[in-house]
Chain A
Amino acid sequence: MSSFLIHPLTLRLVSVVIAFGTWEYLGRIPISPAFPTFLETMSALWGMLMDGSMISVYPATFQPLLIGLIISSILGIACGVFMGLNHKAEWFGAPVFIVLQSAPLAALIPLLTFAYGIGLTSKIITVCIMSMPVIVLNAYTAVRHTPTSMIEMGESYLGSRRQIIMKIIIPAASPIIYAGLRLGAAMGFIGAILAELLITPTGIGDLITYNQSIAEYDKMYAAIFSIMVFAVLFIEILERTEYIFFRPDKRVTQ
């Protein structure tokens, strides 16, 4: 019985129940007329899923999001790994990304609209500038922290530079690279929604602003809830791919 109570799955379920229960309670007080209860939100979500109004808007959100995330993952990991391996690249690149990471990027969006218009390009760039710095900086730190003895091992067994990078440095760095990817993906979701709220209302961002403007708060929260669910699922899948491709040892009980 006690092992059932401390089972990870039980604990996760309990945490979810507490969060949603609190939401329901606060909604029922109510703390604000603009704050629907959990159950109202869920029924609105169900309604929107059934009448297709939610599913039809997602492609518009996912297009810039996925393109942006793919670009920032590939480019970001490449930049980060290169900066980790090469001191000149580090001196050149690290300050740029450190500044980008701490800058209020939402403030740059009007500038992007000015330069690239209100189309897809601006939205993709928004996703990229949100997600890339953390991916780059994590990849760079990870590569920099490869254990010295493991690199010496590769050298003493006559590994070429390429073999040492591909067979030792990248797998050794993969947990931190993946931590960066997960954070980057979360930032990318924020970027995609931000772009839809600030550039042109399309996709899920449109659903949020529209329902807010007509005071259908349950639908507005349902839209927000749905994007959060997607973000969590996406990040979970990302974690699985790490175990499959780079760290089979983590699938074995720790």
Chain B
Amino acid sequence: MSAAAETVSDNAQQIAVEVDNVTKIYPGGVEALNDMTIHFPKGELTSLLGPSGCGKTTLLKIIAGLLKPTAGKVKVNGVDVTGPGKERAFVFQDFALMPWASVIRNAAFGLELQGMNKSEREAIAEKYIDIVGLKGYENLYPHELSGGMRQRVGLARALAVNAEVLLMDEPFSAVDEQTRRKFQEDILEVVDDEQKTFIFVTHSIEEAVYVSQSIALLLPRPSRVSEIIRPDIRRDISPDAIRRDPVYLDIVERIWQGLRTYVE
């Protein structure tokens, strides 16, 4: 059944982001990516999972257009990436909020940079502040929020520009464990509701298995995609039931067995 389902979904699925033969060598000669090819299906959340040094953040920044590949090509919806673009939005590991700007200004900042007028952009930002669960906090400043709430502002900012592809660079790594779990549950809802393509960098196996439709397992030295895993876990049960689901636990265990040799 699962084999048949996969073929069907593969045929029906369009590719949102194509990474073809991308190599990245940093000035100084450090090779972060070596001839990497990977395709991201539209409308799904794909995780980039791997030990540190496997180039997952580099790959994400190349897709974002923040870094230029040394060789190879990235296409988003069939169009070559030459720099940042309107169809992509980035969620930063350290939130990258402006401490001098209120929650609503931060959330609306992508639209502000596009030149949208204040009332229009604040109406949109307000909607997404509500979606990420921060209604009532619009006029606070980032230093008055907890880490988890700050990242919710970062997410609202990314959703507000209505990009098709959301690039998330370890978005929950600076957030405490309890908040993180709640956030993971919420992100599943956002993925369902927004019909966007998410590319999600993480170094947490549990997180990847829990939130992703597919997981690209990256390995270092030389950096490569070792495997694409589709953790077909049940989504119709409660979050706590999922975390105890044998299928979920088996996938986590399998990925860990694959990775453990690369962890010093």
Interface-located stretch among A36-44, A148-156, A191-199 = A148-156
B141 touches A157 (CB 8 A): no
Please tell me if A52 contacts chain B, counting CB pairs below 8 Å.
Answer: no
B113 touches A159 (CB 8 A): yes
Chain B residues whose C-beta falls within 8 Å of the C-beta of A147 in the assembled complex? 94, 96
B98 touches A168 (CB 8 A): yes
In the bound complex, CA of A69 to CA of B191 (Å)? 55
Please pick, from B92, B100, B144, the residue contacting A149 in the complex, using a CB distance under 8 A: B92
Q: Interface 1/0s, chain B 97-118, versus A by CB < 8 A?
A: 0111110000001101110000
A154 touches B113 (CB 8 A): yes
| From A147, A152, A156, A158, residue with most partner B Cβ within 10 Å | A156
Known: A152-B66, A249-B141, A252-B144. A158 touches B113 (CB 8 A): yes
Chain B residues whose C-beta falls within 8 Å of the C-beta of A160 in the assembled complex? 113
Q: Interface 1/0s, chain A 210-254, versus B by CB < 8 A?
A: 000000000000000000000000000000000000111100101
Majority SS at the chain A contact face: helix
Tell me the smallest distance from the CB of A185 to a CB of chain B, in Å.
22
Please tell me if B143 contacts chain A, counting CB pairs below 8 Å.
Answer: yes
Majority SS at the chain B contact face: loop
Known: A149-B96, A171-B100. A155 touches B84 (CB 8 A): yes
Please pick, from B84, B93, B94, B100, the residue contacting A157 in the complex, using a CB distance under 8 A: B84
Please pick, from A155, A158, A171, A254, the residue contacting B98 in the complex, using a CB distance under 8 A: A171
Known: A156-B65, A249-B100, A252-B141. A149 touches B113 (CB 8 A): no
Closest chain A residue to B64, Cβ basis: A156
| From B66, B84, B113, B161, residue with most partner A Cβ within 10 Å | B113
A249 touches B99 (CB 8 A): yes
Please tell me if B88 contacts chain A, counting CB pairs below 8 Å.
Answer: yes
Please tell me if B86 contacts chain A, counting CB pairs below 8 Å.
Answer: yes
Chain A residues whose C-beta falls within 8 Å of the C-beta of B86 in the assembled complex? 158
In the bound complex, CA of A147 to CA of B89 (Å)? 19
Please tell me if A163 contacts chain B, counting CB pairs below 8 Å.
Answer: yes
Tell me the smallest distance from the CB of B169 to a CB of chain A, in Å.
9
In the bound complex, CA of A19 to CA of B165 (Å)? 63
Please tell me if B90 contacts chain A, counting CB pairs below 8 Å.
Answer: yes
Please tell me if A124 contacts chain B, counting CB pairs below 8 Å.
Answer: no
Chain A residues whose C-beta falls within 8 Å of the C-beta of B140 in the assembled complex? 252
Closest chain B residue to A250, Cβ basis: B100
A residues in contact (CB < 8 Å) with B: 147, 149-150, 152-160, 163, 167-168, 171-172, 174, 246-249, 252, 254
Given A157-B109, A167-B112, 8 more A-B residue pairs with CB atoms under 8 Å apart are A147-B96, A156-B88, A156-B90, A157-B114, A158-B84, A158-B110, A246-B100, A247-B100
